[in-house]
Amino acid sequence: LHKSPDHRNLVLPKPLLAALRGELTPRVPIWLMRQAGRYLPEYREIRARTPRFFERCYTPELVVEITLQPVRRFGMDGAILFSDILVVVDALGGEVEILEGRGPVVEPLADARALERLSAERLRPHLEPVYEAVRLLARALPERITLIGFAGAPWTLAAYMVEGETSRDFHRARRLARAEPDLFARLIGLLIDATSDHLMAQIEAGAEAVQIFDSWAGLLPETEFERWCVRPVLAVAERVKARHPAVPVIVFPRGVGAGYRRFRDEPAVDGLSLDATVPLLWAREELAGVCLQGNLDPIALLAGGAVVERETDRILDALAGRPFVFNLGHGVLPETDPAEVQALVERVQRLRPPIDPARHRPAGEAPDDRP
């Protein structure tokens, strides 16, 4: 696989795992959400040969190849399993497809009868090819690179299941949650079982860290946020930690603003992934005690060059002196030039002289006179 320049191995065997465990790493580890996918010509080639999305997800050799593609090219510190949050919905028996140019299409779940047809029993047998891929990857990856498993959070999965397709505001899903909270709570309960089981199966197959994607958490107002995002996500994280206490859990509650604070003091949450709107100096103060991850705007990669350099340095400076994982604020966009990703990874991975936080302040921050 990737022949890494020596400096990448100088430090710890796995800088990403070290940071997620709260260690200050001599250089900042990096991986990118959606680092595998359509912006890579080698992915598009596989897609042309195997056009059904779920067929790609359920063929272990393809999953291994697609997962390794970005790591081979760019040498990130993490390899995220190529899969999708919706494989869990498929495994439960929800009719789901991912169509080119349209995204996910799901048979909308509207009543208790539809809910009763779903079953968590099929989960492990149905997703066995995914776990087989994880086992193969655990063997294939170089020692420096951390294998990341993932699942969708219950709210985000429920949002697709009720809405039936992607949406700007998920009206139908939010209406069902308000109008029939007991039914919605049963759906969320089933998804807590399914996603925690899916994460544990990935860990048992060799995943070394896991991320819970709550991509639509930002749509929920305060009380709904607590009920449908915070509590279910913590339930999943706690179940995983009870069985696998050493495996870091990263939570990505996209778009929740000050709601990020709800995850900062939770023993089951090791990493908190910030979307691009979160002010970093606020996060530095308010979200101490957890490893932060993020938060370059994926659009900056489309502008490229100096825009990426300036933003990258600003992010690295803002989180200097803290355990930190460099990532985007959301996934890599299909229009992204792979050369920009290459330059980004190189910039983050080059060894910078350790910054003394007492002497170094990000631009614009007032001097700190406290003892």
Tell me which residues touch ligand CP3 (CB under 6 A): 33-38, 47, 53, 80, 82-86, 98, 100, 103-104, 150, 166, 213, 215, 331
Smallest separation, CB 172 to ligand CP3 (Å): 16
Smallest CA-to-CA distance from 288 within 316, 254, 265 is with: 265
What DSSP line would sit under 323-368, residue for residue? -EEEEESSPPPTT--HHHHHHHHHHHHSPPPPP-TTT---TTPPP-
Catalytic residue among 8, 27, 47, 239: 47
Rounded (to 5) percent helix, strand, coil in the chain? 50, 10, 40
Residue whose CB is less far from ligand CP3, 35 or 146: 35
Would you say 77 and 30 are in contact if contact means Cβ atoms under 8 Å apart? yes
Minimum distance from residue 361 beta carbon to ligand CP3 (Å): 33
Q: Closer to ligand CP3 by CB, 106 or 123: give it.
A: 106
Q: Which one, 96 or 320, has the nearer CB to ligand CP3?
A: 96
Catalytic residue among 84, 90, 197, 214: 84
> How far apart are CB 71 and ligand CP3 at their closest, in Å?
10
Q: Are 90 and 157 in contact (CB under 8 A)?
A: no
85 vs 161 by CB, closer to ligand CP3: 85
47 is catalytic: yes
Q: Which is nearer to ligand CP3, 39 or 184 (CB)?
A: 39
Task: Work out the end-to-end distance of the chain between its first and last CA atoms, rounded to an integer number of angstroms.
Answer: 49
CB-nearest residue to ligand CP3: 215
Residue 102 falls in the annotated catalytic set: no
CB neighbours of 321 closer than 8 A, spacing ≥ 6?
24, 355, 356, 357
Catalytic one among 43, 131, 160, 260? Answer: 160
| Burial per residue of 208-245, b for 16 or more beta-carbon CB atoms within 10 angstroms, e otherwise | bbbbbbbbbbbbbeeebbebbbbbbbbbbbebbbeebe
Amino acid at 189: G
To the query of whether residue 84 is one of the catalytic residues in this protein, the response is yes
34 is catalytic: yes
Looking at the Cβ atoms of 141 and 320, the one nearer to ligand CP3 is 141
Per the residue annotation, which of 38, 135, 172, 186 is the catalytic one?
38
Q: How far is the CB of 56 from ligand CP3 (least distance, A)?
A: 7
Q: How far is the CB of 341 from ligand CP3 (least distance, A)?
A: 12
Torsion angle in degrees (nearest 10) through CA of 57, 62, 68, 73: -110
Give least dist CB 259 to ligand CP3, A: 16
For residue 319, count CB atoms less than 10 angstroms from its CB and return exposed for 0-12, middle for 13-18, buried for 19 or more.
Answer: buried
Contact assessment for residue 118 and residue 90, using Cβ atoms and an 8 Å cutoff: no
34, 174, 239, 262: the catalytic one is 34
State the catalytic residues. Answer: 34, 38, 47, 84, 160
